[in-house]
Each structure stands twice: as C-alpha cells, then as structure tokens.
Amino acid sequence: MIKKFDKKDEESGSGSNPFQHLEKSAVLQEARIFNETPINPRRCLHILTKIIYLLNQGEHFGTTEATEAFFAMTRLFQSNDQTLRRMCYLTIKEMANISEDVIIVTSSLTKDMTGKEDVYRGPAIRALCRITDTTMLQAIERYMKQAIVDKVPSVSSSALVSSLHMVKMSYDVVKRWVNEAQEAASSDNIMVQYHALGLLYHLRKNDRLAVTKMLNKFTKSGLKSPFAYCMLIRIASKLLDETEGGHDSPLFDFIESCLRNKNEMVVYEAASAIVHMPNCTARELAPAVSVLQLFCSSPKAALRYAAVRTLNKVAMKHPSAVTACNLDLENLITDSNRSIATLAITTLLKTGSESSVDRLMKQISSFVSEISDEFKVVVVQAISALCQKYPRKHSVMMNFLSNMLRDDGGFEYKRAIVDCIISIIEENPESKETGLAHLCEFIEDCEHTVLATKILHLLGKEGPRTPQPSKYIRFIFNRVVLESEAVRAAAVSALAKFGAQNDDLLPSVLVLMQRCMMDSDDEVRDRATFYMNVLQQKQKALNAAYIFNGLSVSIPGLEKSLHQYTLEPSEKPFDMKTVPLATTPITEQKTEIAPVATSKLPEKLAPSRQDIYQEQLASIPEFQGLGPLFKSSEPVQLTEAETEYVVRCVKHTFARHMVFQFDCTNTLNDQLLQKVIVQMEPSEAYEVIHYIPAASLPYSQPGSCYTLVRLPDDDPTAVSCTFSCTMKYLVRDCDPNTGEPDDDGYDDEYVLEDLEVTVADHIQKVLKPNFGAAWEEVGDEFEKEETFALASVRTLDEAVGNIISFLGMQPCERSDKVPENKNSHVLFLAGVFRGGHDVLVRARLALADGVTMQVTVRSSEETVVDVILASVG
C-alpha cells in the first residue's frame, strides 16, 4: 500500500516536500555562501526561505547560531535583487527576538524606508519598527512623521500600523504624531483611513471629549473604508455605553444609519452593536433584527453564522422580537454547517411554541454528536431555559440530557448538563427520582472530581427524603471504594446524611462508616470518625446541627477568629458565636444556569462584601470593642439622583450597637467640603454616641463618615427606629479648574432623607439545607403562633415576596417559589437574630379574599420570638 503510494509520488511528483527533511545545521552551513562574492541572489534567496521555513515550523534556534546567521544575512543588503531584499526584511522580523544586536541593520533599513524604491519602503518601515526601542525611536521620529503622511498608501499604512504597535512601548513619542495621523485619516485610500482611525483612537481613548469630537467629525464627513466604519461603530457603541447615552443620541442614529450601508460587513457590525446594547427596546431592535433576517438566507456561510448567532443572543432577552424570523430559522436547521444548524435550533427553542419542542429536540439529537463542545453547551443552556418555560416538558428534556450525559465531552459540557439536571430536579419534584438515577449512573464513570462531589452532595441532600433511600447507598459506597480522596470524603458526608435521616438504614451506614475509618486518607478518616460519633448518639438535635445543616459562619471570618484565639491564650473555649455569619448562602440556588453562562467565574472563596466592611470598620479605633460585625445592609440612597451631594448609607449591625456608614460624593467642582458628619435624630431610645467625620470631600472623590449608635439595652423589642439625618460640614469655595480652595470657609448643612432601621437589620440570613431537621433542633420551647390577614395582598407570590423582604430571612427548601395554580403555600424562613440566636419561621399562607397567614416562630430565645411576631403585626 505504502509502496504504491510512493510510486505514484515519483511519477506525478506531487506529495514531495522540498523542505521536508531540512536539517537546521545543514541550512546554517549553507548560509555561509552569503559571504561569497559576487552574491548569488537565487541561491541566497532559497536559503533564507529555508531558514524562515524552519522558524515557522517551530524549530528552535540558539542565540549564537541565530546571531551568526543574522550577521551573515546583513551582507545581502549589497544585492539589489528585490525579492531577496524583501526576504531579508522578513528574516530581520523573524529573528528580532532570537538574535543579538539586530539594531546593526538600522541604517540599511532607514535608507530603504526613505529611498526611491516604493516596493521597499513599507516593508522596511515595518522591519525597522520591529527592532527599534524607545531611545532609538527619537532618532527616526522625523522619518516616521513623514512616512505617515506619505502619498504612497503602503508606506503610510505601514507607518501607521507600526506606530500603533509601538504605542505600548513609547506612548509619549507616538503621541506627538497625532497631527500626522489626523492628516492620514482624510486619505482616499481605504486602508490608510482605517489604520489612521485606529491609531488616533488608541492615542485618545482615555480622553472622552477628544473621542467624542473625533466621532462627530468622522460620522459627519463619512468614510470610504468599510473597515473604518466597523471601527467607528465600535467606538460609538462603547462611548454610548460609558456615557449611558440614550437611544435618542446622535451616536445611536449613526449606528442605526449604518444598517443601510452597502457593505455587509458594516451592516452586520451595526446590527450586532445594537443587539448588544443594554436596555434596547423591541422597537429599537426591530431594524437590526430585520437585516439579520435577510442575512439568514445569504449564500455565504460566515454571514449566516454571524446572523443566527446574533439572533440567538437577541432571543435570550427578547424572544418575541425574533419570532418574525422563525421561518428563516426553520430553513437553517438542516444547514450543512452544523454550527449554524445548532444555533438556529436553539434560537427556535427560545422563540417557538411548546408544540414545536419535540420536533426540534428530535432534529438536534440527529447531529448532536457532530458538533463541538462549545455548541453542545449552547444546546444544554437552551434546554435549561426551556425547562423553566415549559415545566411540563421536563420528561422529554430529562431523557435527552441523560443521553447527552452518556456521550463523550469535556468538563464544561458535562458540568452544563449536570447543572441543568439539578435545576430540573429542584423545579419539578416529580422528576427528582429519575434525575437522581441518571446522576447516579453518571458518577459510576465520571472523571471530573468537581462534578462527582457536587452530585454526591446533592444525593446526600435529596436521597434520604425519597421513598426508597436505600437504593442510593450502593452508588455512594462504590465511590468510597473506587475514587480519589476528595470524592471519597464527599461520599462519606453523603452517607452520614442517610444514616441521620433514616433510622432503619442507620445500622448499615454505621458499618460502612466503620470501614471508611480505615481509609488511607486522613480527611476521609476524620470525617468518618466524626460522623460515626455523632450518629451513635442518635440525637436529632446533634444530627441537625452537625450533619444536615453544617456551619453557617463566614469561612474567612472563622479563619481570622481562630487565628486571633491562638494569639491570646485563654482558658475559655473558643466561642463560635464570635464568628461573623456567612452573608451569602453557599450551597443552594447556585445550580440555576443563567441564560448567559458565567461558568468562568472562579468558585474560590473570595472575601464577601461583609468581610471587606468588617476589615474597614476594624481599622477605625472608635469601633474597637464592638465585637464581630453581625450584618451589613444594602446601601440606602438618602438623596435624589443628580443633587449637589450624593449620600447613601450602609447600616452595620453589631451585638449592641449600630454603625451607620455614609458614603458621600460632592458633585460641585467649585467646593471643597471638610469635617463632614451626618447628624442623626432617633425617634426611639437609640443613643448616638459618636460621630466620625470625613476629613475632606474634594469634587467627585467619594468619602465616608460614620455615626455610632447604641441600641436600647432595656427594651430588646425596640428593633425599629426612624432617624432624621442632616449632613453638616465646612465649605471652602475653590477654583473649578485648579481645585485650589479659598483660605476661609463657612459652616453649612444639607438635609437628607429619613433613615429607617427595621427588624430585618437585626436578622442575618442563614440557609438551612434541611429545614425540618433544624425545626426539630430548635424545639418548641419558645414556639409561638399567630394568624394575620393580609388584606391588601392579591397573590401568594406577592405575599411570599413581602414577608421575605420584611423579615430579611433566608427562604429554605425553595419555598420562596409558589407552585402555579395553588391556593395555599408554606414558606420556611431561617435566620440568626442579633446576639446569635437561631430563629425559624414557618408561615402557612392561604389565598381567599386577600391572603391569610398563620405564622409560627421558633427560637432559642423567647424575646426574639416576641420581636418577630410584634413586628409582623
């Protein structure tokens, strides 16, 4: 077979590669003829070609051999052979980084760039700039300026593009060429125009006013180059975005007018820019959508691809705007380019009706194995969105997803599928068992640790509460036997949950735990030992606290507190209540795939917003001794938009105090404010004990001042209070241009809006993954119950939303989602009250005329129960 092939090669000569068996050393040896006189251009050219070919193949050249060859090559400048000279330029560029002393060719290149041969000038400039550094740049500055405005387009383009490359290295020098670039921008040549615009923008992009002027000029005068138009559209849409310019701005009009350009490249760029603008209305989108619709039937695959990809993007936010294109999209689902077909189908899945789902899914499964992982993820995302839209279709989807899970694919793809299945399980209780079964099958042969541990965690959470928990045990224990340490540890934690929930499984779980205690990994052994001991106690409260619901403290906070504890030796045991709570529930709800995937976000524990506040407040001496920061509220605006001063407040709650942080911005450029405080007058027995001023507030530089307030000790039920707030400060008028303030100042004040402190400021959200267990753990010692009528509320959804935001507690067991067409609902809320007392709320809601609500509150502290009920009433 091979022989036959060779023979054929010999006959036809095809298939042979003159460069195939090139030896670097042999080529470098040959390069010696560069030194022969007279120069043989043909042979020298061939050797240079070989050298560049080797470099291009990724062959490594040592510094010495490269330098030697480079110096030999410089002699070839004596020849006047055009092609040879051009190959010399290329060699210089290719070797610029590997050979030493490349600058010796500077004068030869300078000569060529200013010489009479136009064919040499452009490439000589590009080669010269490649080897030039900042100091040498000054020496050729004059030539560069001349070249930029040269009438030969290739010279001008080369100079402009080379200047752009050098901006990074020598911004200050290149900036001096802005007038020449400006002149080049009015060139008749389309490429020169494009390159000049690119360089000008690059030099001016940090000066918004200059960019605006430039845009005005070019959008009015019009351009010839489609490339330049595309660039201009990008600049305009960036500026629109930054200035939050409305869609009545001339910039928007310009972009829209480009939809009527005669070049498709420009039309597409404009359509894409409009589609990607935030807050576009369906009406503003319509013209962009209709050009994209036309492109869908283009004979050019690239244009169809671009169009359908952009329409897919529109369909995420505005499915109705794309419905008009459904017919065109239908024609694309059998496109021979599978990327186009996939995008068309996933777009249709977003815009089409429920009845078309089955047909589209069938079509897509016929070629899903042929498309790249990137597009498979797009398919999964479309399915995920679909499940939320048409919950009744979940069995079709689940089936499809489980088939995809069995196919080959990379991590991102598998993760998208797993996330999608998990979100279906959480949305549709009836699909739970099928979903768990698919996931169990998947982890039997799963190479991705992250996914395996995620699924094990889910099995631990959901499995024990299914009708037949025992069937999951085998899958979980298999992991303990077969997998890596991280997976084994996750499996042990999952097993413990089965033991804690199901009494009849407990003996077998204990036996399995016993085996895990002999594991070779210490994390696995530690977990097994811990769970073993907890489980053997057979106490519901212990199970709830240590197996089901885990830690709810902030991990960085815990680290810091423990470190502090080790620094100050003490007889007292470490108290968990001194550790700040975690502000964002770590586990639940993360599984929902946002339509625009954010999978690149690192899943590391970054310090939360509250950890950052904790750090900032701890650095202020007056706030020492307040204890750990318990809760920080979202910022509350205390001024209207666009007033002289902008003030917002963040309320920080501590065990017995509150700190009000006022973030103030001075928007007057002729004033400098000093000694800024916000004076607060409480309506209740709250006592202001300290003001910490912001020393100075120059124009547009935000600063913070603080007010420290003591909470009423004698009346723990006084959780709400209204403060009237006034900002007081010393004004020094100043020169708007220089910011130089007058010597004298005067006192002034500014009235802010009232600030409310409510019950929610005293409660931190805590997620209890297993609410039932937590409910039992707290017990009914201080349980109280009351019934309320919410007359003004019309729907259960509304009632649920109101209660959550009023109490500021964490909804558990996804009870914040009210199933459709139900007349009653139970909402579970969990939190920790200031001072570290767990508090749980169960609210039964019934919809009749308005909503009737029966609230049951449990806590480890009686006053907390009273506070909650008092504030609800």
Q: How far is the CB of 345 from another protein (least distance, A)?
A: 14
Residues 738-757 touching another protein, rule: CB under 8 A, are: none
Q: How far is the CB of 663 from another protein (least distance, A)?
A: 27
> Does 180 help bind another protein (rule: CB under 8 A)?
no
Nearer to another protein, 602 or 873 (CB): 602
Point out which span in 304-312, 626-634, 730-738, 741-749 binds another protein (CB under 8 A).
304-312
Rounded Cα distance between 736 and 740, Å, is 8
Which of 251, 255, 377, 672 touches another protein by CB under 8 A?
377
Dihedral pair phi/psi, residue 188, rounded to 5° = -80, -20
Nearer to another protein, 96 or 558 (CB): 96
For 742, which DSSP code? P
Residues 384-413 touching another protein, rule: CB under 8 A, are: 412
Residues 232-291 touching another protein, rule: CB under 8 A, are: 234-235, 237-238, 241, 264-265, 268-269, 272-273, 276
Q: How far is the CB of 152 from another protein (least distance, A)?
A: 10
Residues 416-445 touching another protein, rule: CB under 8 A, are: none
Q: Describe the chain by its helix, strand, coil percentages, rounded to 5.
A: 55, 15, 30
Instruction: Give how far Cα 276 sits from Cα of 237, 284, 310, Å.
Output: 9, 12, 9
Nearer to another protein, 119 or 486 (CB): 119
Nearer to another protein, 378 or 476 (CB): 378
| Nearest CA among 247, 184, 254, 268 for reference residue 215 | 254
Nearer to another protein, 57 or 537 (CB): 57
> Does 302 help bind another protein (rule: CB under 8 A)?
yes
> Does 353 help bind another protein (rule: CB under 8 A)?
no
Which of 56, 297, 536, 667 touches another protein by CB under 8 A?
56
Point out which span in 47-55, 66-74, 283-291, 320-328 binds another protein (CB under 8 A).
47-55
For 783, which DSSP code? -
| Residue in the block written with tokens 């995920």 | 384
Q: Strand, coil or helix: what is 131?
A: helix
Range 156-167 burial, b when 16+ CB lie within 10 A, else e:
bbbbbbbbbebe
Point out which span in 102-110, 394-402, 498-506, 598-606 binds another protein (CB under 8 A).
598-606
Which of 31, 45, 489, 721 touches another protein by CB under 8 A?
45
Rounded Cα distance between 291 and 271, Å, is 7
| Residue in the block written with tokens 């369906």 | 282
Which of 99, 132, 261, 339 touches another protein by CB under 8 A?
339
Which of 22, 96, 98, 119 touches another protein by CB under 8 A?
119
Q: How far is the CB of 602 from another protein (least distance, A)?
A: 14
Q: Which segments of 75-187 does DSSP mark as H helices, in order?
A: 82-95, 106-114, 118-131, 134-148, 153-167, 171-175, 178-185
> Does 790 help bind another protein (rule: CB under 8 A)?
no
Nearer to another protein, 70 or 750 (CB): 70
Nearer to another protein, 18 or 779 (CB): 18
Point out which span in 54-62, 543-551, 742-750, 796-804 binds another protein (CB under 8 A).
54-62
Rounded Cα distance between 346 and 209, Å, is 42
| Residue in the block written with tokens 């950890």 | 611
Q: How far is the CB of 26 from another protein (least distance, A)?
A: 14
Instruction: Give how far Cα 43 sits from Cα of 17, 94, 152, Å.
Output: 18, 20, 32
> Does 42 help bind another protein (rule: CB under 8 A)?
yes
Contact track, another protein, 485-514, x by CB under 8 A: ------------------------------
> Does 823 help bind another protein (rule: CB under 8 A)?
no
User: Please, are residues 610 and 584 in contact by the beta-carbon 8 Å criterion?
Assistant: no
User: What is the DSSP annotation of 349-413?
Assistant: HHHS-GGGHHHHHHHHHTTGGGS-HHHHHHHHHHHHHHHHH-GGGHHHHHHHHHHHHHS---HHH
Rounded Cα distance between 210 and 253, Å, is 20
> Does 381 help bind another protein (rule: CB under 8 A)?
yes
Nearer to another protein, 183 or 370 (CB): 370
Nearer to another protein, 20 or 821 (CB): 20
Nearer to another protein, 90 or 103 (CB): 90
Contact track, another protein, 130-169, x by CB under 8 A: ------------------------x--xx--xx-xx----
Point out which span in 200-208, 633-641, 732-740, 768-776 binds another protein (CB under 8 A).
200-208
> Does 218 help bind another protein (rule: CB under 8 A)?
no
Residues 660-699 touching another protein, rule: CB under 8 A, are: none
> Does 448 help bind another protein (rule: CB under 8 A)?
no
Q: How far is the CB of 405 from another protein (least distance, A)?
A: 18
Give the Cβ contact number of residue 451 at 10 Å: 20
User: Please, are residues 594 and 381 in contact by the beta-carbon 8 Å criterion?
Assistant: no
Give the Cβ contact number of residue 362 at 10 Å: 11
Q: Which residues contact 657 (CB under 8 A, 6 or more apart)?
A: 626, 708, 709, 710, 711
> Does 604 help bind another protein (rule: CB under 8 A)?
no
Rounded Cα distance between 540 and 496, Å, is 13
Residues 78-117 touching another protein, rule: CB under 8 A, are: 82-83, 86-87, 90, 93
Q: How far is the CB of 161 from another protein (least distance, A)?
A: 5
Q: Which long-range contacts (CB under 8 A, 24 or more apart) does 748-754 make?
A: 750/644, 750/645, 750/726, 751/725, 751/726, 751/727, 752/638, 752/639, 752/647, 752/678, 752/725, 752/726, 752/727, 753/637, 753/638, 753/639, 753/725, 754/722, 754/723, 754/724, 754/725
